[in-house]
């Protein structure tokens, strides 16, 4: 006999043709009836509910990720925080506070979890992920989404050139070496909105200044922070057979495929401006590279991020992974809440 529970526009089934914890959308009709929505038949698509623990859940990416997961109405979510944290979360979120470097504390919290999502501050990228990864192994957590919500983890030259990406690879290697959990990377490219607000694309909308890096002419994949968050939620809602295909692999879910000049053109279009309204300079990319390498040696905090963005535009370095995007897999995620982004709208929201 099939048991069913209705919640937030979803039917959660506990038996029958759908596996435990999976859900499918329905509409409530006038008069109280139900209409099941199976827009992608054949091949019924369901949301698989999971127990998901998150560190950094109140951060720049963590907050929209929590909202995206809660919006699906199928998951049991635990936010792991420092003892002094004061952030609040939507109803239904379990909060566990403790030392984020304490492996014993983390192991206890992670017992019974299906997935661990790690979203630490960049300054603590390694020191907060390593104990959590070991704890996840102790607790037998099958999936870890480490702090991999941007570039392609398999972009060889790009990874070799950037210390941030080298550190991320260390984390992936640790997960694989322990051999209990599997990692999954969400590859969307550098965040479009964050890069614009900080002027890291070489385009500064607020001051209307731009520096075009001559010789860095490749296209780059990119998306917004909210898109990355939706991608995390959608991936963690895949049925087990689909999710298992991504063990120690990347899910490629970018929104846009742009050159640096196309980013500037889009910003101008979104703001109703032209080249005449901007101070636009052109600099040879080799000159720019020498400058940021010198500053990195001097301990400059911004230079590594400039290098990060510049190297994405170098032909063959790995910033363009459009050929790796699988439209069929992307469609599955779109059925699980991943929205298609509009470039003009994304830029306007970023510049608000």
The domain that contains 126 carries what CATH number? 3.40.50.720
Instruction: Answer whether residue 258 is part of any domain.
Output: no
Where does the pLDDT of residue 46 fall: very low under 50, low under 70, confident under 90, or very high at 90 and above? confident
Strand positions, DSSP E, 16-84 = 22-28, 34-36, 47-48, 51-55, 76-81
Claim to verify: residue 160 and residue 67 sit in the same structural domain = yes
103-110: average pLDDT = 98
Claim to verify: residue 129 and residue 157 sit in the same structural domain = yes
199-220: average pLDDT = 97
Q: Does the structure show a pLDDT above 60 at 43?
A: no
What are the beta bridge partners of residue 52? 77, 115
Instruction: Answer whether residue 168 is part of any domain.
Output: yes
Count of Cβ atoms closer than 10 Å to residue 25 Cβ: 16
Please state the domain count of the chain. 2
Instruction: Answer whether residue 156 is part of any domain.
Output: yes
Q: Does the structure show a pLDDT above 60 at 13?
A: no
75 φ, ψ to 5°? -110, 155
Where does the pLDDT of residue 9 fall: very low under 50, low under 70, confident under 90, or very high at 90 and above? very low
11-27: average pLDDT = 39
220 φ, ψ to 5°? -125, 140
pLDDT above 90: percentage of residues in the chain: 86
Claim to verify: residue 240 and residue 124 sit in the same structural domain = yes
Q: Does the structure show a pLDDT above 50 at 179?
A: yes
pLDDT at 162: 95
Phi-psi bin for 326: left (phi > 0), alpha (psi -120 to 50), beta? beta
pLDDT at 328: 95
Claim to verify: residue 105 and residue 246 sit in the same structural domain = yes
Using an 8 Å Cβ cutoff, are 125 and 118 in contact?
no
Average pLDDT, the chain: 89
What are the beta bridge partners of residue 76? 51
Instruction: Answer whether residue 351 is part of any domain.
Output: no
How does pLDDT run across 231-275, given as a tens digit for each residue?
999 999 999 999 999 999 999 999 999 999 999 999 999 999 999
Instruction: Answer whether residue 270 is part of any domain.
Output: no
Instruction: Kindly state the tokens that stand for 225.
Output: 């922070």
Instruction: Answer whether residue 66 is part of any domain.
Output: yes
Half-sphere exposure of 234 (CA within 13 A, CB side): 23
pLDDT at 28: 35
**8 vs 72: CA distance, rounded Å:** 8
Residue numbers of the domain that contains 93 = 49-187+228-253
49-73: average pLDDT = 97
Preceding omega of 42 cis (within 30 degrees of 0):
yes
> Hey, CA dihedral for 89, 28, 49, 191, is it positive or negative?
negative
Q: Does the structure show a pLDDT above 90 at 195?
A: yes
**283 vs 56: CA distance, rounded Å:** 38
Where does the pLDDT of residue 45 fall: very low under 50, low under 70, confident under 90, or very high at 90 and above? low
Claim to verify: residue 115 and residue 181 sit in the same structural domain = yes
Alpha helices in the chain (DSSP H): 62-72, 103-110, 129-139, 156-161, 163-178, 192-197, 225-235, 240-243, 260-271, 285-297, 303-312, 327-334, 343-350
Q: Does the structure show a pLDDT above 60 at 102?
A: yes
Claim to verify: residue 60 and residue 167 sit in the same structural domain = yes
Claim to verify: residue 239 and residue 105 sit in the same structural domain = yes
Instruction: Answer whether residue 59 is part of any domain.
Output: yes
Instruction: Answer whether residue 118 is part of any domain.
Output: yes
Please state the length of the chain: 352
Where does the pLDDT of residue 35 fall: very low under 50, low under 70, confident under 90, or very high at 90 and above? very low
How does pLDDT run across 108-159, given as a tens digit for each residue?
999 999 999 999 999 999 999 999 999 999 999 999 999 999 999 999 999 9
């Amino acid at each position: 006999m099939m048991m069913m529970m209705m919640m937030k526009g979803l039917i959660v089934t506990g038996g029958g043709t759908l596996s435990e914890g999976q859900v499918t959308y329905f509409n409530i009709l006038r008069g109280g009836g139900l209409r099941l929505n199976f827009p992608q038949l054949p091949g019924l698509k369901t949301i698989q509910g999971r127990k998901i623990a998150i560190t950094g859940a109140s951060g720049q990416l963590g907050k929209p990720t929590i909202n995206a997961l809660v919006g699906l109405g199928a998951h049991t979510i635990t936010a792991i925080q420092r003892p002094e944290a004061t952030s609040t979360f939507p109803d239904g979120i379990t909060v566990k506070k403790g030392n984020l470097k304490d492996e014993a504390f983390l192991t206890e919290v992670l017992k019974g979890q299906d997935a661990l999502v790690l979203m630490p501050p960049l300054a603590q990228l390694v020191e907060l992920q390593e104990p959590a990864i070991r704890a996840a192994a102790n607790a037998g957590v099958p999936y870890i989404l480490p702090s991999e919500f941007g570039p392609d983890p398999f972009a060889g030259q790009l990874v070799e050139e950037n210390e941030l990406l080298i550190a991320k690879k260390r984390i992936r290697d640790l997960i694989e070496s322990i051999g209990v959990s599997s990692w999954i990377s969400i590859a969307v490219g550098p965040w479009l909105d964050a890069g614009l607000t900080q002027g890291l694309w070489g385009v500064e909308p607020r001051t209307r200044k731009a520096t075009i890096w001559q010789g860095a002419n490749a296209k780059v994949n990119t998306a917004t922070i909210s898109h990355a968050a939706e991608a995390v939620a959608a991936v963690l809602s895949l049925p087990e057979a689909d999710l298992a295909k991504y063990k120690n692999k990347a899910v490629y879910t970018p929104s846009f495929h742009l050159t640096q000049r196309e980013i500037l053109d889009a910003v101008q279009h979104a703001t109703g401006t032209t080249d005449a309204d901007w101070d636009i300079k052109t600099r040879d990319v080799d000159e720019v590279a020498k400058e940021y390498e010198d500053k990195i040696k001097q301990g400059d905090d911004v230079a590594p991020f400039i290098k990060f963005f510049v190297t994405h535009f170098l032909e063959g370095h790995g910033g363009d992974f459009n050929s790796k995007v699988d439209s069929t897999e992307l469609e599955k995620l779109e059925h699980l809440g991943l929205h298609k982004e509009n470039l003009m709208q994304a830029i306007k929201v970023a510049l608000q």
